Structure 1
Amino acid sequence: MLFDYFEKEGILYTTEYEIVKEKSKDWSFTSPILRKINKVADAVVFPRSEEDIIKIVEFAIENHIPLIPRGSGYGTVGGLIPLKGGIIVDMSGLSGIIEEDEDTITVYSGTKFYEKGKLIFNPRVYPTIYQKASIGGYFSGGSWGIGSFMFGPNWDQVVEIKMVNPRAKIISLKGGDIKIAAHAEGTTGIVTRLKILKLNESFIPQLLLFDTFSEAIKFIQKIYDTLPEVYHITLRSQK
């Protein structure tokens, strides 16, 4: 079989239809146009290292198979839809903090912003769906979010990235070159790690729960009356 290569290399994968179908979807069902496109990939792979990704890209090059990188799958513009089949590269297994200093944190791209009831660290900008989103998926498919009115789009918060390019080589991008991969939906390469600026500790993200909508509105009004230093407020329903 074509995918025996992954078994030989110890790379997790599946061709089980229901799993592949689920991994071939994102939130583009919110679009009356994109939700009509029902395409399913041929397989899903679950890399656990940058070496796995290099092997996956080499395999795809040799066999002329499209690759579709997937973060947490919460994009809304259809970037995840496998229009020509191919392989979904699920990045969720490549996660974790690599190193951290006073101003930056370096993480693998599958790392989620939020786990166990709190943000993993204080990013300067993060998506409004931070409870679900992964860092690499947000960088590759998003742009603005919580904090962006003060600090700018998400790629302005990134000091350096590493990615596996379409020739199966790991490259490092810094400065203006970072935009080669930003918001590119994985078309310029598969991002494997990001070095991101952290938020000053004086700004602490908080999640507050209210029993009623009116209580939430009264709280927001009180904030504006007392004028503390707040850089972003998002009001969301739990449903």
Structure 2
Amino acid sequence: MEVTTLSTITELKKIIADDRVTTNETILEQHGRDESYHTPSLPDVVVFPETTEEVSKIVKYANENRIPVVPFGLGTSLEGHVIPYQGGISIDMSLMNKVLEVRAEDFLVKVQPGVTRSQLNKELKKHGLFFSVDPGADATLGGMAATNASGTTSVKYGIMRDQVRDMEVVLADGEVIHTGGLAAKSSSGYHLNGLFVGSEGTLGIFTELTLRVYGIPEVIMAARASFPTVENAVQAVVGILSAGIPIARVELVDARSMKQVNLHSGTSYDENPTLFLEFHGNDAGLKQDVNFTTEIVHEAGCRDFKFELDSKGRAQLWDARHDLAYAFIHGAPGKRLMVTDVSVPISELAGAIENARQQIDNIGLDGALVGHVGDGNFHALVMIDLSDEEEVKKAHELNSRIVEYALEKGGTCTGEHGVGIGKSKYQRREHGNAIETMKALKQALDPKGIMNPGKILVD
């Protein structure tokens, strides 16, 4: 849908300042891609609003003229969520980046959607607080809510949906609503927070978020434990969770990944399936948790269990985990990373990971597996040459096999990356007739289909 007519640009410049409406080719290209392997596609125009009122007016104008709108944070998404395949207006939220209010006694913070995770935690540290969701990338909080992000700490603190208390949302007709309140719980009305979190810009655009935050733990301790097999590692995780140990992070990194970590980071970690763990608490409680965990991992066949007691060693451990995708990217120049994630019941996790490993080996690609195993979520990372049709075909086949296995075991096609364009083809397979209910909600809230069209609900 072409919107680069002089009249359209003129109308947008009546809504916001001239210098915040652009058709500059470089900026269009920046907003036509994310960090995924999906094919880029340019928007027709990019706008940079500063207020909810401006967002409302832009969306209202777009709705009246049936122009697609796609909200854009930092472009760190992994399934093509922000790629505007039908052109239209890319609404960049980067100028709406203020921490509006810290309610320390309520353990709440109100932010604009362009605030990043690290920016928020820097502000919260002054109050002895932190925001728990850590997807690895320094994403915007609006984008994290849009994809229902989670990450390494979700085993203890929950996912993005668990942290959202209220949102200000601009609907397709420009109307502004709030989805919740400040109270810790409510039995009033439909659960709109749950509806909008994870909707990927297809139902509305977030302009404010009220989020739950936590006190910074008195003591933090990290550890890594290597095992002969993935099954042994998962057995240890089940044992830790069954014992009720309040583990803050428990990440599985397979042998291939550990090799890449050592190559990229200059470390000399054991190149076997490894758990990265972190404990939050006080001195007395932590000692008990650590001692119990030590017993459990050794019973599960742990070969090497080492603690990182100082902040430098802890940071190095988690940098190695978070930088793993970049370690593969830097190790394969000229190739792009295809990363897929699925989630299964924990009882099915070892089988799902072993199946994924077999599929990678059988299909003939170089790939690795990592996961937030405490909640049954894991990722497959594969480097592919996008100019090699056969390699691309193999990568898509691998993705399909991993997803199908997860769905057969009662899992989901995505535990945290979101649907976007990459996982839309699995929606009917996963949700059955419920997809029609989702379509009815989409039709009711966005009857002209302008909100991030072509994402999630695509047969």
TM-score of the two chains, using structure 2 as the length reference: 0.44
Offset at residue 155 of structure 1 (A): 1.0
2:23 counterpart residue number: 15
CA distance in 2, matches of 1:203, 1:184: 36
Letter paired with 2:131: P
Letter paired with 1:213: T
CA distance in 2, matches of 1:159, 1:40: 34
CA distance in 1, matches of 2:90, 2:102: 30
Letter paired with 1:52: E
1:139 counterpart residue number: 145
Offset at residue 146 of structure 1 (A): 3.0
Offset at residue 40 of structure 1 (A): 1.0
Equivalent of residue 61 in structure 1, options 43, 60, 63? 63
| CA contact 1:126–1:154 (8 Å) conserved in 2 | no
Query: Are 2:33 and 1:25 equivalent residues in the alignment?
Result: yes
TM-score of the two chains, using structure 1 as the length reference: 0.82
| CA contact 1:26–1:81 (8 Å) conserved in 2 | yes
Query: Are 2:147 and 1:168 equivalent residues in the alignment?
Result: no
Query: Are 2:266 and 1:212 equivalent residues in the alignment?
Result: yes
Equivalent of residue 322 in structure 2, options 220, 236, 239? 236
CA distance in 2, matches of 1:99, 1:115: 14
| CA contact 1:163–1:171 (8 Å) conserved in 2 | yes
Count of residues in Structure 1 that have an aligned counterpart in Structure 2 = 221
Question: Could you list the runs of 5+ residues in structure 2 that have no partner in the other structure?
Answer: 1-5, 125-129, 181-185, 222-261, 278-304, 328-459
- Report which of the two structures shows the higher radius of gyration computed on alpha carbons: 2
CA distance in 2, matches of 1:58, 1:48: 16
* Correspondence 1:68-217 to 2 at 5 A: 68-102=70-104, 103-115=107-119, 119-121=122-124, 122-130=130-138, 133-174=139-180, 176-202=191-217, 212-214=266-268
RMSD after superposition: 3.0
CA distance in 1, matches of 2:32, 2:70: 9
CA distance in 2, matches of 1:163, 1:205: 36
- Shift of the 146–120 alpha-carbon distance from structure 1 to 2, 3 Å rule, reads farther
Equivalent of residue 307 in structure 2, options 223, 227, 230? 223
| CA contact 1:127–1:146 (8 Å) conserved in 2 | yes
Question: Could you list the runs of 5+ residues in structure 1 that have no partner in the other structure?
Answer: none
Seq. identity, %: 26
CA distance in 1, matches of 2:50, 2:266: 43
- Shift of the 200–138 alpha-carbon distance from structure 1 to 2, 3 Å rule, reads same
Offset at residue 205 of structure 1 (A): 8.3
Letter paired with 1:212: G
